[in-house]
Structure 1
């Protein structure tokens, strides 16, 4: 038999149940495993010649070959325990899709080796503490002018945080690129244009792209000029795709891609493509093939009937001429008995 509870007792029981469930959830859900407990970023407004103090998304350093540049990195420990962070410089490059990436210590052979933390390569950061670590960038004598992409990499227990170093060596700047391997995939609203951009100059480029198209019957809708969400580093190539919702369903189209970038860089690439609704074309082809087969069968039947009925001259079915029948013998009627 159930025991009746008063409203007050039931409310207390419900409150205790909710509190226990909340406590269980708080204990059962662990902290995210990928949280390092620290951050790495440029010290705000510390760059030489900075216009004003403030947060910086990356380091920007420039100078002539043979000079030494300086800046500072901030390591902020947001956890309740000490962290030991290792610092190094690294070369930067574009992935195939255009993302910014850094090379390992063994792979770095360029600007990443110009970065030095001196005795501060390994830094112990106490709990809830901000450590400022100075570093230098030595531009070798005779280093090529232009951009030399690099990064500062902070590592602890396999977790890496990279901060970009936008490094430029003084001298002539050349903005140049090419558009290669243009092709079209899909059709209609799902069509996409694939292409490759290659930075042939010595400065990083943020390009703009436009697409124009010419069909058999005239112009076809392309794409208006827009800035691409990628920065192509010097000497790098990236493979990109662009939606082309204006592609026709049935036509032969000549496509032209025009890419421009600050500094006077301009390049074009072209391709041609057939757009055929293969479902309709397949059904039409099958219909025409069937019609041709019916016509051929009808002609063959008519020819057989003509041969069997003997219409017109021609050899017999056995390959020899048909012999003519001999005339019947004539009888002389004289009325005299024989």
Structure 2
């Protein structure tokens, strides 16, 4: 029985090495990205619901972008606080701001996709750049760097949306590690010609791409997924690229309690259930390989079965994975998580198991 487990362990490690070297290495070891300004017309789209304090801070950062041809489409999704009033003040202050007021609709109650659809239709520019109301760009060149990746063929650009660093917080490191790992996955699969998701905190596409797939209609009943489900449907090898220069990043305020972050991740996992079969398969295989890797290591070492061989395989796996994660984290300016990687990986796997089990017995809460 133990020899069978050893062979299974070796197979699991080969699967892990395939992911980290064969797929994730495409991003980790890729060349630095060139930025050649395109100056295409851009509509920056921000959908907000009860985000009064965030929009006060972050909308001016969008309005002050160093870009020759852009507008900002602010969508107030029936907020009950002062978000709409703040938007109206910005509309008066900045000439390139367009305001979309969304009233509650019984058929689309609380559905962000409905509000975004109205905003997209109101946008006057050919290219759309999305971020969330609680996000801000790292530089005044955000639009320039994201738009620079558009070409005649590449009409979808996947960007990186990170989270602010909180010193001496293990939870914050876990959140940022999970964000980096997710970004490495969708960046790498996009580079491999199999894009499957993007994040609404930093995402751009040509307006035609939205109408080519009839917008969100095929997954309108799914309350989340205005970003990843849309990309899962619309993106392909020919039309999708990525942007990962530091000037193109956006950042958000991270959750400060494990409960809030856990609830957020439950929504993300439940949305992934609607991905295409191959995308669900590759994500599932990656998670299963991580889980069985640790289980088999514990069993084989506990019985001291071929422990020298097991230790050598373990060291090889960690050397490869740590290197790939290290290079990737460096590109995404998340260098401090490199040291904590072994601990963060185990905590994340335990959290993911908890999420899957919890989602079986209850449905997560979606848009506000």
Q: Do both share a fold (TM > 0.5)? A: no
Q: Relative contact order, CA 8 A, sep 6+: which one is greater?
A: 2
**Which structure: greater strand fraction?**
1
**Which structure: greater helix fraction?**
2
TM-score, with structure 2 as normaliser: 0.18
TM-score, with structure 1 as normaliser: 0.19
